[in-house]
Amino acid sequence: MSKTNWLIDSTHSEIAFKVRHMMISTVTGHFEDFQASVETESDDFSNASLEFSAKTASVNTKNADRDTHLKSDDFFNSEKFPEMKFVSKSFVGDKLVGDLTIRDVTKEVTLEAEFNGIVVDPYGQTKAGFEIKGEINRKDFNLTWSAVTEAGSIVVSDKVRLAVDVQFTKQS
C-alpha cells in the first residue's frame, strides 16, 4: 500500500499545556505557531509516523509578563532554542511514543492518542482528528526555574500536562 501524507489543519487544532500554579489552580497555555505532518500506510493510522514542531516564542498564556518569562532562559529560551519538536517512533493502539526535544534536551515520551476517526468535510477534504494527552516533567527538559512562596507553596509545578487536539487534512 502506498503512503498517504496528512498536514495539520491549524485552524482546527490546539497545542495546549496545563501547569499547576501555587498548587491551587491551573494555568493553561498554548502555542500559536506550529506545524505537524503525518505519514500513514493505513486508514486506522496504526504505525503512522508523526512530526510536530512549535515556535517557543509563540507561547500564549493570556498574560504578557508570564509569556515573557516563559520565553526567557528560565524556561524555553526562545532566542537560543526557537523550536520544540516531537518525532514519533511508534503509534500502536492508543500509545504514541516519540522523541520530544525542548531546549537542548531530547527524551522519549509516551502519549495517549485517541483517534477520533476520518470524515469528509463540506469542501470535499478528508480530515482525521486526534486527542493527544500526556504528562512530562518540565525539569527533564531544563525548564528548571522554581520559586517558593513565603508560606512554602511551590509557585509552578514540575508536572506539565499536555492537551493536544489536532485535525489533519489528507494530501492528494
| Domains parsed from the chain with CATH numbers | 4-170 (2.40.128.110)
Q: State the Cα–Cα distance between residues 148 and 94, nearest whole angstrom.
A: 37
Nearest to 85 by CA among 29, 141, 131: 141
Q: What is the dihedral of CA 161, 106, 47, 126, to 10 degrees?
A: 60
| Positive/negative CA dihedral, 116, 119, 125, 126 | positive
Decide if 52 contacts 85 (C-beta within 8 A). Answer: yes
Amino acid at 70: L
CB neighbour list of residue 170: distance below 8 Å, 6 or more residues apart: 4, 5, 6, 125, 126, 127, 128
Q: What are phi and psi of 143, to 5 degrees?
A: -95, 75
Given this model, what pLDDT does residue 43 score? 78
- Whole-angstrom distance, CA of residue 38 vs CA of residue 87: 10
Looking at residue 132, its pLDDT comes to 96
How far apart, in whole angstroms, are the C-alpha atoms of residue 101 and residue 92? Answer: 21
- pLDDT at position 47, please? 85
The residue to which cell 491549524 is assigned = 10
In order along its 172 residues, the chain shows pLDDT tens digits of 689 999 999 999 999 999 987 777 888 999 999 999 999 998 788 889 999 999 999 999 999 999 999 999 989 999 999 999 999 999 998 999 999 999 999 999 999 999 999 999 999 999 999 999 999 999 999 988 887 666 666 677 899 999 999 999 999 8
- Taking every pair of C-alpha atoms in the chain, what is the biggest distance, in angstroms? 62
pLDDT of residue 139: 92
Q: What is the pLDDT of residue 53?
A: 97
pTM of the model: 0.91
Given phi > 0 = left and psi -120 to 50 = alpha, else beta, which region is 142?
left
